[in-house]
C-alpha cells in the first residue's frame, strides 16, 4: 500500500507530496512535533541556530507563510522571505535560477508556495536542496494534511496527539471533504494521506467542482448529497468556494449555499453528535460555512492553525536533519 | 560513376512486393539493380556494404518534423536535425512551417530547401496554410507548391475556421496536395496541459479531453465529404497529424471505409507511452496532443495494425534544456523523436504486437512517401532514388540521449529499451550514417 518510491531523486527531508511519506515517516513527524512542543524553550531555540531557511512565496499566504516562518524562528533558524512581488522573479528570473541564488546565499532548505502544480519537484531537482511544498497549484499541500491529521488526533475521542500511528489508526473514522475539490490542493493531500491510516474519505460536491476522475486518487468515495455525506461524518472538512469558480457551473451562489453550506441548522439536523468541523482557511463566512459553525465548540479551525506551527517545526527539523 | 553494392541482406520493399534475401546495387544516386544473393558476383563495385543479418529497406520517410530553422537555431538546425534523422534510418523528412518567420512564403521555403542549409538527407517542407499561421487568410498555395511545398498546414495550431479549412482543402486538392491538420479545438482544450483523466486530476493539471481532437477530425471529414460531393473532379486530401485518441481514429476508420481521401499519422510516443509517463511532472512527457490513456494507446496500435493509420511520423520537436527545465504548465510542447522511432516501432509494434516487418517498413517508408506524392522514394525498385535504410531487426539496445545528434535532448526515452538498430543509412547513393 505504501507507494513510496525506492528511487527518490530529491534531497532527503524534502516533502513534495504525501505519497512520498511512508507511514513510519508520518509517525516520526508527529512524534517530533510533540517533542518539539514539549521541549524547553532555550533548547528548542538552539536546534537550528546558524541554519538558513528560505521561504519562497509566489502566491500570497497568511497562515502557511507565517507559520513556517514562526516555526523556523522558534527553532533558531535564520529565515529569508522572497516573494514574487519584491524580487527578481518580477524581472522574469526562472524558478531554477531563483533557487540557485538562494542556495548560493546559504539557504539549506526552501519552503515553496507556487501557482504551478509540480513546481516544488522542479526546485528540488534543480537545487538539490530539501524542499517543503507549501502549496503548489491545484496539486498538494502536504503540511496541511499533516496538521489536519494532528488536529483530528487531538480532538477525536480515543486518539490523542501521541496515538500510535499505523495503517489502522483512523479506522472507523469517516472524513467528508466538501466543496471545490477540483481546485483544492488541500483536498488532494488529505484524500491521499488519510486512507493510508485507515480513514474512510468521502468527497462531496457538485460535478463541476468534483469530477468523476477524482476517484482515480484511490481509496476515496464520492457522495453528491451533502446531507447524506454529513450524516456519516466524524470529521467534516469544508473547503473555500471562490465565487468565480461557480461561473462555469450550473449552480449559482444561492443554490450552492442551499445545498452545500455547513450551517447550524444543517449540523443540528444531519451531523452526528460531536462531528468535528475543519477548514484549511481562508474561510468565507456565510458561503461554504456559516459564522456560527466556524466559531462553534465543535469547530477546530483555530486549532488547525496552531497545529500548523507544530507540524512545520517538525518538517523543518526533518529537512535540516536536526535530531529532535 | 559511383557504385555501392549492399550484399547479403534481407530486402523488404512493400512497393514492389519483395520480402526476401536480395543484393542491391546503387549507381549514380539511383537503384540500379536488385538480384538474388550473389547475383552481382561478377560486378566489381567500387564500394560494398555487408548487410548480413540485416533488413535492407527503402530509406525511412518522416512527414512531420520540426527542424527549427529559420529562427530557432538554438533548438535545432536543419543540419543537426537531419543528422539525427540519418542516424534514425531516415532519408527524407518534411519540415513543418512553424519557424520564425513562419514558412508562409516562397522566400522562406526556398531558404529552408536550399543546399546551403547543409542537410544530411533530403529535406522537404510543408508550407503554412494561412499567412503567419494565424488562421485568417490562405497563403499562395500555387506559388508555394511550385517552389516545392509538399502540403499545407498550420501545425502547432489547428485551422479552426471551417470556411478557411474548406477553402484550403479545395485549393490543395487542385494542386494534388494534402492539407495536414493539427486537430485540436482550443475552445475545448483551453488551458489544458496533459490528457484529461485520473492522472491529470491527481497531479492537479488541467486535462485536455479527447473530444478536442475528435471534434475537429469529424468536422474536417465532413468538409472533405461535402467538397468531394460538390466538386466531382476534385479529390480533397485531409491528412490528420499525430492522432492520439480512439475517438478520432474511429472517425478516420469510417471516413476511409466511405472512400474519402483521409490519411493520418501516428507518433511513436503515442503508441509507446500513456499519461502515466508524466510521472513527477516530467516536461519531457509534455507534448501536444498529450500522452493519452492506455485505451487510446491500444486503439492507436490497433489502427496501425488494421491500416486505419497510414504512417508513423515522429513530430520531432527539439527544445533547449533550459526551455524544458521550467514549471510543467510553462514548458513548451514537444519531444525529439528521429533517433528512437524505428527502435520503438520494432519493439512495440513488431515484437510486442506481432506486426510483420513488412508492415513496419510500409508505415515508415512506403506510405509516407506515397502520402506526399514521392514516386521515386519509399521504394527500392530499379530507377528509384538510392535511399536505403539498413537495420538489424532484433538487436536490443537502449537509447542514450548523450549520443544524440540532435542539438536538443528533450526525450522521455533516455535509457529506454529499443529493438532493432540502424547499421547504415544511404541517401542519394551516399552513406550518410554508419553505426
Query: Given this model, what pLDDT does residue A6 score?
Result: 54
Query: For B240-292, what is the HEC assignment?
Result: ECCCCCHHHHHHHHHHHHCCCCEEEEECHHHHHCCHHHHCCCCHHHCCCCCCC
Does some domain include residue A284? yes
| Mean predicted lDDT score pLDDT of chain B | 97
- The model's pLDDT over B181-205, given as tens digits with 9 standing for 90+, comes to 999 999 998 878 999 999 999 999 9
Residue A188 forms contact with B (CB below 8 Å): yes
Q: Are residues A267 and A185 in the same domain?
A: yes
Per the CB < 8 A criterion, the answer to whether B36 and B375 are in contact is no
Q: Are residues A31 and A101 in the same domain?
A: yes
Q: Is the pLDDT of residue B1 over 90?
A: no
- What is the strand order of the sheet B262-266 is part of? B127-128, B152-153, B179-181, B238-240, B262-266, B311-312
Query: For chain B, what is the HEC assignment?
Result: CCEEEEEEEEEEEHHHCEEEEEEEEEECCEEEEEECCCCCCCCCCCCEEECCCCEEEECEEEEEECCCCCCCCCCCCHHHHHHHHHHCCEEEEEECCCCCCCCCCHHHHHHHHCHHHCCCCEEEECEECEHHHCCCCECCHHHHHHCCCCCEECCCCCCCCHHHHHHHHHHHHHCCCCEEECCCCHHHHCCCCEECCHHHHHHCCCEECCHHHHHHHHHHHHHHHHHHHHCCCCCCCEEECCCCCHHHHHHHHHHHHCCCCEEEEECHHHHHCCHHHHCCCCHHHCCCCCCCCHHHHHHHHHHHHCCCCCEECCCECCCCHHHHCCCHHHCCCCCCCCCCHHHHHHHHHHHHCCCCHHHHHHHHHHHHHHHCCCCCCCCCCCCCECCEEEEEEEEEEECCHHHCCCCCCCCCCCCCEEEEEEEEEEECCEEEEEC
B315 has catalytic annotation: yes
| Total structural domains within chain A | 2
What is each CA distance from A204 to A232, A238, B157, B232, B282, in whole angstroms?
A: 12, 10, 38, 57, 31
Q: Judge: A117–B203 Cβ closer than 8 Å, yes or no.
A: yes
Query: Given this model, what pLDDT does residue B190 score?
Result: 81
Q: What is the CATH number of the domain that holds A47?
A: 3.40.50.1370
Whole-number Å distance between alpha carbons of A250 and B268 = 40
Q: Judge: B204–A117 Cβ closer than 8 Å, yes or no.
A: yes
Closest CA to B430 of B11, B13, B40, B121: B121
Whole-number Å distance between alpha carbons of A262 and A279 = 11
Per the CB < 8 A criterion, the answer to whether B177 and B152 are in contact is yes
Does some domain include residue A5? no
> Confidence band (pLDDT; 50, 70, 90) for B45?
low
Give every residue of chain A whose pLDDT is below 50, as ranges.
Answer: 1-5
From A94's Cα to the closest Cα of chain B, the distance in A is 7
Q: Are residues A166 and A213 in the same domain?
A: yes
| pLDDT above 70 as % of chain B | 100
Whole-number Å distance between alpha carbons of A107 and A100 = 9
Residues in chain B with CB shorter than 8 Å from the CB of A182 are: 201
Does some domain include residue A95? yes
Q: Judge: B326–A117 Cβ closer than 8 Å, yes or no.
A: no
Per the CB < 8 A criterion, the answer to whether B78 and B96 are in contact is no
The parent domain of residue A51 ranges over 18-141+308-319
Whole-number Å distance between alpha carbons of A192 and A103 = 31
Query: Given this model, what pLDDT does residue B192 score?
Result: 84
- The model's pLDDT over B247-264, given as tens digits with 9 standing for 90+, comes to 999 999 999 999 999 999
| Total structural domains within chain B | 1
Residue A113 forms contact with B (CB below 8 Å): no
Residue A27 forms contact with B (CB below 8 Å): no
- The model's pLDDT over B359-407, given as tens digits with 9 standing for 90+, comes to 999 999 999 999 999 999 999 999 999 999 999 999 999 999 999 999 9
Q: Are residues A137 and A209 in the same domain?
A: no
Does some domain include residue B50? no
H or E stretch covering A40: none
- The model's pLDDT over B315-359, given as tens digits with 9 standing for 90+, comes to 999 999 999 999 999 999 999 999 999 999 999 999 999 999 999
Q: What is the dihedral of CA B36, B37, B42, B43, to 10 degrees?
A: 90
The parent domain of residue B108 ranges over 59-376
Query: Given this model, what pLDDT does residue A264 score?
Result: 97
Q: Are residues A256 and A162 in the same domain?
A: yes
Query: Given this model, what pLDDT does residue A198 score?
Result: 98
Query: Given this model, what pLDDT does residue A1 score?
Result: 38
Does some domain include residue B419? no
Residue tagged active-site, from B104, B154, B315, B387: B315
- pTM here is 0.95
Residues in chain B with CB shorter than 8 Å from the CB of A95 are: 326-327
Q: What is the CATH number of the domain that holds B80?
A: 3.20.20.140
Whole-number Å distance between alpha carbons of A275 and A157 = 11
Q: Characterize B306-317 residue by residue with b for buried, 16 or more Cβ atoms within 10 angstroms of its Cβ, and e for exposed.
A: eebbbbbbbbbb
Does some domain include residue A10? no
Q: How crowded is residue A117: how many other Cβ atoms within 10 Å of its Cβ?
A: 25
Q: Judge: A213–B200 Cβ closer than 8 Å, yes or no.
A: yes
Amino acid at each position: 500500500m505504501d507507494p513510496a518510491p525506492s528511487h527518490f531523486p530529491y534531497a532527503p527531508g524534502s516533502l513534495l507530496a504525501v505519497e512520498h511519506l511512508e507511514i513510519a515517516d508520518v509517525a516520526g513527524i508527529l512524534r517530533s512535533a510533540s517533542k518539539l512542543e514539549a521541549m524547553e524553550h532555550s533548547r528548542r531555540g538552539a536546534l537550528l541556530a546558524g541554519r538558513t531557511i528560505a521561504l519562497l512565496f509566489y502566491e500570497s499566504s497568511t497562515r502557511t507563510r507565517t507559520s513556517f516562518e514562526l516555526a523556523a524562528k522558534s527553532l533558531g533558524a535564520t529565515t529569508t522571505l522572497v516573494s514574487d512581488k519584491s524580487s527578481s522573479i518580477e524581472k522574469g528570473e526562472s524558478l531554477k535560477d531563483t533557487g540557485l541564488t538562494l542556495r548560493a546565499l546559504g539557504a539549506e532548505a526552501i519552503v515553496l508556495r507556487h501557482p504551478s502544480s509540480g513546481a516544488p519537484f522542479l526546485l528540488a531537482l534543480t537545487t538539490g536542496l530539501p524542499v517543503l511544498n507549501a502549496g503548489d497549484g491545484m496539486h498538494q499541500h502536504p503540511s496541511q494534511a499533516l496538521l489536519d491529521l494532528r488536529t483530528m488526533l487531538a480532538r477525536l475521542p480515543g486518539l490523542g496527539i501521541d496515538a500510535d500511528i499505523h495503517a489502522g489508526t483512523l479506522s472507523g473514522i469517516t472524513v467528508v471533504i466538501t466543496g471545490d475539490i477540483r481546485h483544492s490542493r488541500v483536498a488532494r493531500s488529505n484524500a491521499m494521506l488519510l486512507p493510508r491510516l485507515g480513514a474512510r474519505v468521502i468527497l462531496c460536491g457538485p460535478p463541476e467542482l468534483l469530477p468523476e476522475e477524482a476517484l482515480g486518487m484511490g481509496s476515496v468515495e464520492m457522495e453528491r448529497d451533502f446531507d447524506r455525506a454529513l450524516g456519516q461524518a466524524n470529521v467534516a472538512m469544508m473547503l473555500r468556494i471562490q465565487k468565480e469558480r461557480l461561473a462555469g457551473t450550473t449552480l449559482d451562489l444561492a443554490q450552492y449555499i442551499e445545498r452545500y453550506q455547513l450551517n447550524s441548522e444543517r449540523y443540528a439536523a444531519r451531523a452526528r453528535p460531536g462531528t468535528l468541523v475543519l477548514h484549511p482557511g481562508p474561510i468565507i463566512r456565510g458561503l461554504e460555512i456559516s459564522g456560527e459553525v466556524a466559531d462553534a465548540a465543535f469547530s477546530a479551525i483555530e486549532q488547525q492553525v496552531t497545529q500548523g506551527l507544530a507540524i512545520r517545526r517538525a518538517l523543518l527539523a526533518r529537512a535540516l536533519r536536526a535530531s529532535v | 560513376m559511383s557504385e555501392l553494392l549492399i550484399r547479403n541482406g534481407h530486402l523488404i520493399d512493400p512497393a514492389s512486393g519483395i520480402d526476401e534475401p536480395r543484393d542491391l546495387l546503387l549507381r549514380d544516386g539511383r537503384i540500379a539493380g536488385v538480384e538474388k544473393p550473389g547475383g552481382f558476383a561478377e560486378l566489381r563495385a567500387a564500394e560494398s556494404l555487408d548487410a548480413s543479418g540485416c533488413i535492407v529497406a527503402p530509406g525511412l520517410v518522416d512527414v512531420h518534423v520540426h527542424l527549427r530553422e529559420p529562427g530557432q537555431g538554438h533548438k535545432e538546425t536543419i543540419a543537426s536535425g537531419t543528422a539525427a534523422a540519418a542516424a534514425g534510418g531516415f532519408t527524407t523528412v518534411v519540415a513543418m512551417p512553424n519557424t520564425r518567420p513562419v514558412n508562409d512564403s516562397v522566400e522562406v521555403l526556398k531558404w529552408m530547401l536550399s543546399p546551403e542549409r547543409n542537410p544530411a538527407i533530403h529535406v522537404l517542407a510543408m508550407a503554412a496554410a494561412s499567412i503567419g499561421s494565424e488562421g485568417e487568410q490562405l497563403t499562395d498555395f500555387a506559388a508555394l507548391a511550385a517552389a516545392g511545398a509538399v502540403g499545407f498546414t498550420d501545425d502547432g495550431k489547428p485551422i479552426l475556421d471551417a470556411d478557411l479549412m474548406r477553402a484550403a482543402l479545395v485549393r490543395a486538392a487542385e494542386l494534388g496536395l494534402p492539407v495536414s491538420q493539427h486537430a485540436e479545438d482550443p475552445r475545448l482544450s483551453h488551458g489544458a496541459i496533459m490528457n484529461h483523466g485520473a492522472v491529470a486530476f491527481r497531479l492537479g493539471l488541467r486535462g485536455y479531453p479527447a473530444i478536442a481532437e475528435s471534434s475537429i477530425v469529424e468536422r474536417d471529414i465532413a468538409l472533405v465529404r461535402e467538397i468531394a460531393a460538390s466538386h466531382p473532379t476534385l479529390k480533397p486530401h485531409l491528412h490528420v497529424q499525430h492522432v492520439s485518441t480512439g475517438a478520432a481514429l474511429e472517425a478516420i476508420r469510417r471516413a476511409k471505409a466511405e472512400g474519402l481521401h483521409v490519411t493520418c499519422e501516428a507518433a511513436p510516443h503515442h503508441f509507446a507511452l500513456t499519461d502515466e509517463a508524466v510521472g513527477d511532472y516530467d516536461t519531457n512527457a509534455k507534448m501536444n496532443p498529450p500522452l493519452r490513456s492506455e485505451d487510446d494507446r491500444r486503439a492507436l496500435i490497433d489502427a496501425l495494425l488494421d491500416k486505419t493509420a497510414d504512417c508513423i511520423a515522429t513530430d520531432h520537436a527539439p527544445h533547449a534544456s533550459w526551455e524544458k527545465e521550467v514549471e510543467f504548465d510553462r514548458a513548451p510542447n514537444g519531444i525529439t523523436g528521429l533517433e528512437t522511432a524505428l527502435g520503438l516501432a520494432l519493439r512495440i509494434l513488431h515484437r510486442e504486437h506481432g506486426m510483420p516487418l513488412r508492415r513496419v517498413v510500409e508505415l515508415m517508408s512506403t506510405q509516407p512517401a506515397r502520402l506526399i506524392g514521392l514516386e521515386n522514394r519509399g521504394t527500392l525498385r530499379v530507377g528509384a532514388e538510392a535511399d536505403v535504410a539498413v537495420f538489424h531487426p532484433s538487436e536490443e539496445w537502449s537509447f542514450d540521449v548523450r549520443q544524440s545528434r540532435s542539438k536538443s535532448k528533450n526525450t522521455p526515452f533516455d535509457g529506454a529499451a529499443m529493438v532493432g538498430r540502424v547499421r547504415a543509412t544511404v541517401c542519394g547513393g551516399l552513406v550518410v550514417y554508419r553505426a
